[in-house]
Amino acid sequence: MSNSKKGARIRAAAAEAVDAVVTSGRSLDAAIAVAENNLAPADRPLLRVLCYGSLRFHWRLAAQVANLLARPLKKRDSVIDALLRIGIFQLGDTRISDHAAVSLTAEAARMLRRPKLVPLVNAVLRNFLRSDKPSPQDDGGETQFNHPSWFIESLRKDWPDQWQHILQANNQRAPMWLRVNRRHMSADQYLEILATARGVDKTKIGTVPEGFAQAICLAHPWAVDDLPGFREGDVSVQDGAAQIAAPWLLTGGGGRVLDACAAPGGKTGHLLELAGPEVTLTAIDSDPVRVDMINENLARLRLGATVLTADACRQDDWWDGELFDRILLDAPCSASGVIRRHPDIKHLRRVGDVDALARAQLGLLEALWSLLVVGGRLLYVTCSVLSQENDAIVARFKARHADVSEAAVLPNNNIRDLMVATSQGFQVLPGTHELDGFYFACLEKIPD
């Protein structure tokens, strides 16, 4: 296949994937998986750049397209709308040459079975260039911040001083974080291995923020399969903020530990890497496909736990009757703290989704609290920045229970400095020291 046809095919595949997210509500991961089936491995990175970028800046790009069209496209041609956004993203936000962006994007319309719209795509993109790549007027809303209005308003309410920072951070590309398996080596030792593998000074590879003993933030992402020692369990891919949970939960000892909602197993593996011989770990998740992912991760790390396909709220189906000393509840949430990694969240989440998630989160807390020994600790975690899923849940739970208090144990001061203390817990805001957005509330069970 010629380079021109290959380039057009990549753009056509990207338009189909983006259209599936925006108009059909498909997750970006699922849409990309379908798109990649017809592309060579070497062509997939560009596909991802186009998909992620056009979804990340969807509202601005949509306004730019609308300003250049004499009239809106028909609904049945929504894939061409997606293609035009991808075209303008290339011209305004990438280093792709203007000629290639215009010609290959226009040709992609033919591959999308819209040959009559090839001249339109070509004209819109050329007009964009002639008009000196204009940006739409800032409106203080979706077009300016590239988020849905309901989410912008939620952040204004929850984070009156930081909401713009959060929105701006969400529109950045997320770095690649690693967690080095301390059973195998230190982070410094692994940095030396990376430096040798790439032949560069280790200080140019990444940073280790103080307080993250086993964390590495790479200056540039690596293909996972190229990471030295990945298959041997020396290292895992896990955001730095997510690495706060396991050491916090295990501070002062472990005993019987439950990792609820554990899939895909990143925190499960971290708990086991830190655990002493007195720790026994049970990991549960209700999705059997995702439970397989837990087992795969543990097999790679050469670590063992009791892994069950189970609904945390249906205790009679899986619980052996012995109370747990520690419980990690990484609750299903809106994932509003990891939007920079998953820009499709902006398009897939609705206000009603957060209401339903909040009910489920409170239900999980209620169910798991009864499995905790007096004097035990439960760490409630979400990758959300919305109070409705965080402080509001913990406050409602505390109001119902006389036997719950904030645990005296706190993360070390270096990590604590990265978090904002809230009324019920701690929040890491997206982009803080290149971290994702995570919420933590550590609860201790006291005598009633």
Distance between CA atoms of residues 21 and 56, nearest Å: 12
How many Cβ atoms from other residues are within 10 Å of residue 341's Cβ? 17
Contact 372, 327 (CB under 8 A): yes
CB 337 within 8 A of CB 440: no
> CB under 8 Å to 305, separation ≥6 — which residues?
259, 268, 272, 281, 282, 283, 298
CA-based torsion, 187, 192, 196, 202: positive or negative: positive
d(CA 357, CA 265): 21
R_g of the chain, CA atoms, integer Å = 24
Percentages (nearest 5) of helix, strand, coil residues in the chain: 50, 15, 35
Residue 171's contacts (CB-CB under 8 Å, 6 or more residues apart) are 56, 57, 145, 146, 340
Residue 445 CB: number of other CB atoms within 10 A? 21
| Closest among 415, 436, 429, 434 to 161, alpha carbons compared | 429
Active site residue ranges: 383
**Cα-Cα end-to-end distance for the chain:** 72
